[in-house]
Structure formats: C-alpha cells, structure tokens
Amino acid sequence: MRIWLDGELRDLESARVSVFDHGLTVGDGIFETVKAVHGKPFALTRHLDRLTRSARGLGLPDPDHDEVREACAAVLEANPMPLGRLRITYTGGHGPLGSDRGEHGPTLFAAVGETTRRPDVTAVITVPWTRNERGALTGLKTTSYAENVVALARAHQHGASEALFGNTVGQLCEGTGSNVFVVLDGEIHTPPVASGCLPGITRALAIEWTGARETDLPLDVLDRADEVFLTSTLRDVQAVHRVDDQELDGAPGPVTAKAMRIFDERAGQDLDP
Ligand code: PLP
C-alpha cells in the first residue's frame, strides 16, 4: 500500500508520523472519508469544503485543496481497487506534550483501503449517551471519535451495525458514522444541523434529491416512524429494519426504496455533485 504523507507518496512501512503528533496525543485533527469508485473520488469538492470548515473550527490553517486533490489522485492511482474508502487526515502536527500547539505545522496524509458495498438493510440501536449540540466541536469532523467507537461496539454486541444518539435536549441526532432520516405520513424528515449532527455530505445530497425536511424530532419518533434510513459516504442510503427490539416490517419501505433508487441513479451519473 502506498500512502501520501506530507507532500509525497511513500510505502506503508516508511509512512511514519511522530508519536507526539497531536492527532494522536490529544485528538487535534480532522478527517474526511471519501468513497472512490474505480479510482475516482465521489463528491470530493464537498468533502474538501467540509475539511476546510473543520480546520477553521479547530483553528488549523486552511488545507491546500490542490495538494489534497493531488494526494487523493496519487493514492488512488497507486492503489487500484474497485471500491475504495479514501481517508484524508489533517492534524495539528507534532508538538509539546499537552494541548498547546507546536510550531511545526500540520500533518497531512491520505490513504485508501478496499471496501465493499454495505447491505441495503440493517439494524440499529439507540444509546443512552448524548451528542452535545452546543460544543466547541459540534458539526466538525474531528479525529476525536472515541465516543463513536464505544457506541459502535455496543451496537455490534446487539447484532446491529449502527448506534443512534439523541442530544442533550432529547432530540434525535445522528449515528456514530451516519445521519438518520425518518418517514412520517409519507414525508421524509431528518434532524437539523442544530441538533448537533455532522453535516453529512450524503445527508445534504439526500435532502436535495428527495426533498427531505430538516425537523426537530424527539428521540421517540423512532417508535412511530413508518420507515427509518441512514445516510453516509459508505452506505449511501441504507434502510433500517430494526431499532432496538422493534422490527420495522417490510424495510426498505416504499419511500426509502425510492430514495435509494434516486441516489443510485444520480450518484452514478455525477461524481462531483
Ligand atoms: N455523522 C457522523 C458522526 C459521521 O462520522 C459521518 C460519516 O462518517 C456521518 C454523519 C455521515 O457523513 P457523510 O455522509 O459525509 O459520510
């Protein structure tokens, strides 16, 4: 595997960052996961824009989009695969132990791993932990993912592939790596960004392409939703057939199935929508 690190393509064995890199020691970093289909990234412009918003939120220098595009193209060319999970990571760089940033400037790396299409239907659980809709990092795609790792492990223990969080005021928020949509009386709703969720790229496309509304939703909307689906880069649109112990019979329901079709058609036509 060849990895882009700080301006050049390197073999995995020689791509090394400092043990004092702040991405590692204090989670001072941001990232993007981009789908790559036969070596071509999907929605890269939107991902780069979000990378810049995340960098600004953390006070990191703006990433150089030309360099990130070059990095992505280089790793995709060096590691051919049918469906890739391209990971762009940008950290505060190595610095002193503690939270103060050093003078060395950021670390940028890009890597790609092979992945497979997610199943069309999945089970989810809800977790008792909350997203903070008013935190300093809310809405930023930072490398501080430990809470998601814990919640996802709990989902796996319960035979589910995703865990959904509410926020501190009891509203539905998002999953560990996905946004959530519910269908009520034939209309599609998803929590607004103010709920504390990540502004997902797939979420934005699903809103544009299906007319889904952004609505404050209480967590217990999941008990009465006709259909529930998730969106994310590696899932696209994925129907939910079980929330905790409650089955949603017939998933994907008609509204979700239509969203899946729209997504397949449009995303297949335009790689940078
Ligand atoms: N929410 C969280 C916490 C995520 O980590 C992700 C993606 O990894 C998403 C939502 C979905 O975002 P996207 O559609 O940009 O992949």
> So what's the ipTM on this one?
0.99
Q: In sequence order, what are the residues at sequence separation of 6 or more whose Cβ sits closer than 8 angstroms to the Cβ of residue 60?
A: 28, 30, 90, 92, 106
Residue 157: the pLDDT is 98
The three-state (H, E, C) secondary structure of the chain, written as one string: CEEEECCEEEEHHHCCCCCCEHHHHCCCEEEEEEEEECCEECCHHHHHHHHHHHHHHHCCCCCCHHHHHHHHHHHHHHCCCCEEEEEEEEECCECCCCCCCCCCCCEEEEEEEECCCCCCEEEEEEEEEEECCCCCCCCCCECCCHHHHHHHHHHHHCCCCEEEEEECCCEEEEECCCEEEEEECCEEEECCHHHCCCCCHHHHHHHHHHCCEECCCECCHHHHCCEEEEEECCCEEEEEEEECCEECCCCCCHHHHHHHHHHHHHHHHCCCC
pLDDT for the residue numbered 13: 93
Residue written as tokens 């960004």? 193
What's residue 103's pLDDT? 82
33 C-beta closer than 6 A to ligand 1: yes
Measured in angstroms, how far is the CA atom of residue 34 from the centroid of ligand 1? Answer: 10
Cβ(231) – ligand 1 distance below 6 Å: yes
Measured CA to CA, the distance from residue 42 to residue 271 in angstroms comes to 5
**54 C-beta closer than 6 A to ligand 1:** no
**Dist CA 7 CA 109 (whole Å):** 8
Residue nearest to atom 2 of ligand 1 (CA): 177
Task: Output the residue whose Cα is nearest ligand 1's atom 8.
Answer: 177
Q: Which atom of ligand 1 is nearest to the CA of 204?
A: 14
Q: At what angle do helices 44-58 and 201-210 cross, to 10 degrees?
A: 130
Which atom of ligand 1 is nearest to 233's Cα? 16
**Ligand 1 site-directed mutation target among 85, 141, 181, 236, most atoms within 8 Å of CB:** 141
CA dist 113 and 73 (Å) reads 14
Task: Quote the pTM value.
Answer: 0.97
pLDDT for 104: 85
Say yes or no: CB of residue 178 within 6 Å of ligand 1: yes
Tens digit of each residue's pLDDT, the chain (273 residues): 999 999 999 999 999 999 999 999 999 999 999 999 999 999 999 999 999 999 999 999 999 999 999 999 999 999 999 999 999 999 999 999 988 888 888 999 999 999 999 999 999 999 999 999 999 999 999 999 999 999 999 999 999 999 999 999 999 999 999 999 999 999 999 999 999 999 999 999 999 999 999 999 999 999 999 999 999 999 999 999 999 999 999 999 999 999 999 999 999 899 999
- Residue 79 corresponds to which amino acid? N
Residue 188, classified by CB atoms within 10 Å of its CB into exposed (0-12), middle (13-18) or buried (19+), is buried
